Structure 1
Amino acid sequence: MNESAENLLSGYRKSCDDLAGCFLGNEPVTNVQQVTKRHFYKRSVKVLPWMLYSVAVLILLTAFYGLGYYTHAAYPKGSVSKSVEWNYCGNTSEEALKKGCILDFIPGAWVHPDCYDKELEEEFLRLKEWHWYYDKEAQHELFEDSIRRTGGPNPIYVSQEYHILHCAYTWKKLHRAVIRQTPIDSHIGSYKHTQHCLKTLTEPSRNTTLPAPSGFYHIFTSCTSPQNCNQNTYPPD
């Protein structure tokens, strides 16, 4: 019998003497093989719960990081690169410019660069020779470059046709964001804006005799995924 086995058996016999005997099943423990089996069994009973706990933790971590990877992969290059808080573009045109926001002519709002669809905006601006005005009577015209740089007066007045096509293109922009899994500005993403556009398209305008009856107010947005959009307050008609 080697020394380590004898030490194991000796220690086990001592503990058995203190307890007035040890048995494996119904037989007394008398040899190293029995002690070794019992020792292994006791260690297994202690280790098993920790093994199960470790496996459970591993499964949870795998699921957690797997979900994180999926979420990240669903928003590819060009999506929101950081958490963009509500009202990210501030409350004034000056603040919006300092934050790097862009005046997007489709929503008529300041938007985060991640929510700016330049290609679609260019398509919208090519539809017609658009005009923007200080007044509903279209007596004082504004220019695109000036509006882009400063935000223009509040509100800016446009034709009813402009307003209708603005609505059509906000829906197109939202649909593109859903298909591409890219973010959308909180104004276009607002269900309240969709309701407003539905009313614009289905109800006759109260001011059809005016050349520029529709007022576009200053709007400052955040940038989020379409499914996270909430209803925004919308300025009066």
Structure 2
Amino acid sequence: MKTTSTSCSCGNSTAQALALGCKYDSLAAAWLPPHCRDDDLTAEFDRSGPGKDGQWTYWRDLARTQEISLDELATMGDDRAFRFYMTGQWHVVHCIFYWRKEHRARFNGKMVEPRSDTEGHIKHCGKVLMDPEHLTIAGVEFNTDR
């Protein structure tokens, strides 16, 4: 079943995202509506890290001294200046899972959010695979249409 919506926007705040039926998606590092999420794939991603039970570690700081949970991370989108850090390994696995998301979207009716459904994102992931050791920095997004 194909989706008819062409937007993956979840507003501009956690409150708006929740009101729109969105959930925080750790694979996307963004709030996404149901038609833009592949919940099974994201759950698998969340179990593919090097930590206990396959968890990934996220940090508030570049020095990696202040860990942050996924639940806490999800609420940080309201602070537009907030950034969090992940390992290069996280970024490599994110790219691999995004290629899977692109493939699965052809069959499961889900939409890949416009910011990631680009050749630019694929080229970016290619560079990540060639230099996987760098630390990754990101923010929490609500509008993945851009």
CA contact (8 A) 2:86 2:136 kept: yes
Q: Provide the residue aligned with 1:215 in structure 2.
A: 137
SS class of match (2:115): coil
Report the TM-score, using the length of structure 2 for normalisation: 0.79
Q: State the Cα distance separating 1:217 from its structure 2 match.
A: 1.9
Amino acid aligned to 2:104: R
2:22 maps to what in 1?
101
2:98 to 170, 179, 183: 170
The residue type equivalent to 2:139 in the other structure is Y
Q: Which has the larger radius of gyration?
A: 1
Residue 120 of structure 2 is aligned to residue 192 of structure 1: yes
Check conservation: 1:133, 1:140, Cα contact below 8 A: yes
CA offsets, 1:38-93, max 9 Å, x none? xxxxxxxxxxxxxxxxxxxxxxxxxxxxxxxxxxxxxx1xx43x5344x6212333
- TM-score, length basis structure 1: 0.52
Aligned 8 A contact 1:112 1:221 in 2 = no
Contact kept, 8 Å, 2:26 with 2:70, in 1: the verdict is no
Segments of 5+ residues of structure 2 without an aligned counterpart are none
Query: Which ranges of structure 1 fall in alignment gaps of 5 or more residues?
Result: 1-75, 223-231, 233-237
Deviation (angstroms), 1:187 = 2.6
Aligned pairs, how many?
Answer: 137
Percent identity over the alignment is 29
CA pair 142-160 structure 1, distance change in 2 beyond 3 A: same
* Structure with a larger share of its residues in helix: 1
In the alignment, is residue 201 of structure 1 matched against residue 129 of structure 2?
A: yes
Q: Which residue of 2 aligns with 1:146?
A: 72
RMSD: 2.2
Tell me the distance in 1 between the aligned counterparts of 2:121 and 2:25: 16
Cα–Cα, structure 1 residues 140 and 113, in superposed 2: closer, same or farther, change >3 Å?
same
1:1-237 mapped onto 2 (5 Å cutoff): 76=1, 79-80=2-3, 82-85=4-7, 88-128=9-49, 129=51, 130-148=56-74, 150-151=75-76, 154-203=82-131, 205=133, 208=134, 213-219=135-141, 220-222=143-145, 232=146
Q: Which has the higher contact order (CA 8 A, sep 6+)?
A: 2
